[in-house]
A = this chain, B = another copy of it.
């Protein structure tokens, strides 16, 4: 069976259409301090429940995702591709706007460590990490769900902006990144998950997610291949 799956994956990946710089955007999902660094409740609560569960992830973000994303964002800035940062936080100071799932994770964290896992939007831990700090020309959008489109109307904005291809990056591959990528595909955008600009809790989960998505839903490319494809359209 695995051979057939592999063959079909390759067939589907060849269906990619041109990536036109003027009709492309890069979404950087949840590269917030509390999501990827060890100093915050989210990490600590997870680590209390299952010691070491996020160690691979945190190191992967630091060594692979962040430097690769830095390069990809720089390139997008150079060629005028809009960069959209998402932030997963509560809108209401008391977190009451979060879904039941979010509230439950907050409650677990509070019981374990005395504070919530998902901070309010104004809390410094909700900021994008310093290495990828948004500039004035970027667009930072606030969401309170795993998928980006689920708690925003980004679909409408992207249609207004005449976007055709959405590059998805950030964390976590099989949670917010995959949900965002699935939604973008359903809204009619060509979707590329930039595989070396995202990370999961284990390499197996990361790979399984890309394999599943790349079978029928969208495309999987490294940041270097994305840049190459974009450059081909510019010259």
Contact partner of A205 (CB less than 8 A), chosen from B51, B139, B188, B212, is B212
Residues from chain B with Cβ under 8 Å of A51 in the complex: 4
Per the bound structure, the CA–CA distance linking A75 and B147 in Å amounts to 32
* Cβ-based interface call for A71 (8 A): no
**How many A residues, CB 8 Å from partner?**
75
Kindly list chain B residues whose C-beta atoms are within 8 Å of the C-beta of A97.
139, 157, 160-161
Task: Name the one of B160, B190, B202 contacting A5, with C-beta atoms under 8 angstroms.
Answer: B202
Q: Answer whether residue A153 sits at the interface, using C-beta atoms and an 8 A cutoff.
A: yes
CB pair A179 B186 closer than 8 Å: yes
Please name the residue on chain B nearest to A8 by beta carbon. Answer: B50
**What residues of chain B lie closer than 8 Å to A164, measured between beta carbons?**
100
Residues of A within 8 A of B (CB): 1-2, 4-5, 7-8, 11, 15, 46, 49-53, 56, 82, 91-93, 96-101, 103-105, 108, 122, 136-137, 139, 141, 144-147, 150-153, 155-157, 159-162, 164, 174-175, 178-179, 182-183, 185-190, 201-205, 208-209, 211-212, 215-218
- Taking A82-B92, A100-B188, A155-B156 as known contacts, 14 extra A-B pairs with beta carbons closer than 8 A to each other, sorted by chain A number, are A1-B56, A2-B202, A4-B50, A4-B52, A101-B217, A146-B185, A150-B153, A151-B156, A151-B186, A156-B187, A175-B216, A201-B215, A208-B211, A208-B212
A-B contact pairs, 19 of them (CB 8 A): A1-B201, A5-B202, A7-B50, A7-B53, A92-B157, A92-B161, A93-B137, A93-B139, A99-B160, A99-B186, A105-B216, A147-B182, A151-B153, A152-B153, A155-B156, A179-B182, A179-B186, A205-B215, A208-B209
